[in-house]
Structure formats: structure tokens, C-alpha cells
Amino acid sequence: MKPPVIGWDIGGAHVKAVMLDSQGQIVRVSQQACALWKGLPLLEAAIQHVLHEWSIELERCDHAVTMTGELVDLFDNRLQGVCAIAQTVNAYLPHAGFYMASAAQGAQFTAKVEGNEPHIASMNWHASAQCLATMQEDSPLLVVDIGSTTTDITVCDQQQVQPAGWTDAERMASQSLFYTGVVRTPLMALGPTIQWQGKTRHIAAEYFATTADVYRVLGELSPDYDMADTADGQGRSVVDSMRRLARMVGHDLADTDEPTWQSLAEVFKEKQLEVLMRAIHMTLNQASTQPVSLLGLGAGSFLAEALARRLQMPYQAVSGLLPAAHAQLKIDAEVCFPAYAVARLWQIWH
């Protein structure tokens, strides 16, 4: 019988973990805020928290790891970051396997980080897409993972990932990696202008508000996934969020009533959907095959469903594909899907 396995997704802002039992059922999910740019001790604390909370006996559990945290400016470069994160992980998770993927070698797990850093760095998108590709039939898929900070847009066909680039630089050039998310994105990144109240409005090029403010006001962001600091360091209430939104267009909260700020939130949501649609079209224009359905995941999967309607594609939330006894575990694992993906691929390949 296979041992339980924990999949870990170590990002720059969060550490996510998903535990599968020997039958591949999801039994635990955890997401910890981890501002890695502030130092590796925060990563250590996040790992320790999960191990303690879940009462893990290390010798009875396998560990599969993917990462994007090497991008933070704590490190001089990505290779240094991969090595530092791997060293930290190995101190707490002996014999962990690191997910790696490349055009030459395909996808696999390795315990040897040295020499493999470029193929380990920022491959959580590939793990997610590869896992979904193995779960689906041969029809081409569009996988859209909208997280707190970024969106990954990936085409899969014949149960294989069809990447529009392998490195962050290549994927950003193709827009299959697009820096927009539903929590941490500064609203000024959606500018420089919006259409609101019948006028073209220049928005403040200041860190006054983030997309989390938009989706708090609209009631679409679950508090469970709303972990980042606010732009002004103040609260996460709807009133606080409306105050920050008002600043983006030069107003104070008291200048008008609540429905006005809800309408402003709707405008910013529409702006984000527009930029995501452009990124998706650019990715599809470069793809060798055209997907017939869209799979959405991440904290912003509610936007993925809206995108599918605009693309006139059938939509499926990834949570509906996941094996778990409770619905909330499925939803949480969808948000933490790269961690689920590496855990499941580890079980499939071992």
C-alpha cells in the first residue's frame, strides 16, 4: 500500500499543502500566508505549522514539492532562490521530491536540485496542467488558474501539456503567465484609465488599493483566501475596501453612497476580465490546437467561469473533479491545486 503524500506549493506569498491518503483521497488542505521576501525563517515557520497542525510522522509520509518562491527579491537570482528553498525544505522534509519539467526531459520528480534549478523553478503551472491532462479525456483543454497574484493560461492536448514557453520570461512574453490576480494586484496595474459614470477616468498611479478590495466589495472573494496585507495596512471590511477604491479615482468614501462604490468595483472587475481575455486570445493564437473546454481553478476561479462564457466554451470547475469526502476540501484543494497536483502525480508515478 502506498504511503500518504503531502504536496507542497511554495510561493512568494503563500505556502500551500495538500495531503492525500494511500487511495488518493484528499484528507487535509492548508494555505499559510508566507511573505518569503522577508526571510527564510517565515518559510520554516509555515512548514513547521503544517507538520505540527497535522501531527505528521515524517517517516510515514512522502513529500512532493513545487515552487515559485525563488522569484522574490530576497534572492539575487532564481537559481540561488531554488537552492535556498530546497535546502530549507530538506531540513524539515527529508527525501522530498521536487517537481521538474523541460522540453528535453519531460516531467518528473528529482531529489537532486543542483544542476536542475532551471527546470525546478516556477513549474507549479506545469504540474497543475499535467495533472489535469492525465485526469481528462483526449479532448483539448484550456486550463486557467487565477490566483492571488498571477494567472496561468495553459493548453493541454492528448493528455500532455502544450506550453507556450518554459521559463517565466518566455511565458510572460506569450502572456500564458500574466501578472494579474484577485488579491494582491495593485489596481493601478489595470490602468491607466477606466470608463466610469459615462466618463474616461484616469486612475491614480499609487498603491492605494488592490483587486482584493474589488472582490470584497462585490462579495466574491472568500475570506479564507484573503491573506495578503491591504494597501494601507488597514482592515479588510467592505467599508475599508470602498474607501481604498474611492482613492483610486480621487474621491473620499463620504463623497457619495455605497452603490456608487459597488459600481466602481464592477468597472475594475470588467477591466481585469478584459486584460485576461486579451492574454487568453494571445495564448490561443500561438497554440497548435484549439481547446474545446475550459477548466478553472485558483482563488479567482469565479473569473474563469465568466471568461468561459465570453469564449463560448463549456466550463468546469476543477473542484468537481477532485476526490474528497467533504465539499469544502474540494474547494480548498482547487485553490491550492498545484500542491494537490504534485501529490497526485507523485502517487501516479511511483
Q: Cell 479525456 appears where?
A: 137
Nearest to 127 by CA among 294, 343, 350, 347: 343
Question: Average pLDDT of the chain?
Answer: 95
Q: 78-92 vs 40-53: helix axis angle to the nearest 10?
A: 30
Q: Top-level CATH class of 187-276?
A: alpha beta
CA distances from 223 to 82, 120, 129, 273, 328 (A): 30, 31, 26, 21, 14
pTM of structure: 0.95
Q: Look at the chain and count its residues.
A: 350
pLDDT at 211 over 90: yes
Nine cell digits for residue 43? 518559510
Task: Indicate where the chain has its CATH 3.30.420.40 domain(s).
Answer: 5-135+324-349
Where, residue-wise, is CATH 3.30.420.190 in the chain? 187-276
The pLDDT tens digits of the residues spanning 281-334 come to 999 999 888 999 999 999 999 999 999 999 999 999 999 999 999 999 999 999
pLDDT digits (tens, 9 = 90+) for 74-132: 999 999 999 999 999 999 998 899 999 999 999 999 999 999 999 999 999 999 999 99
Q: Please state which of the four CATH numbers 1.10.1040.10, 3.30.420.40, 3.90.180.10, 3.40.50.720 is assigned to the domain occupying 5-135+324-349.
A: 3.30.420.40
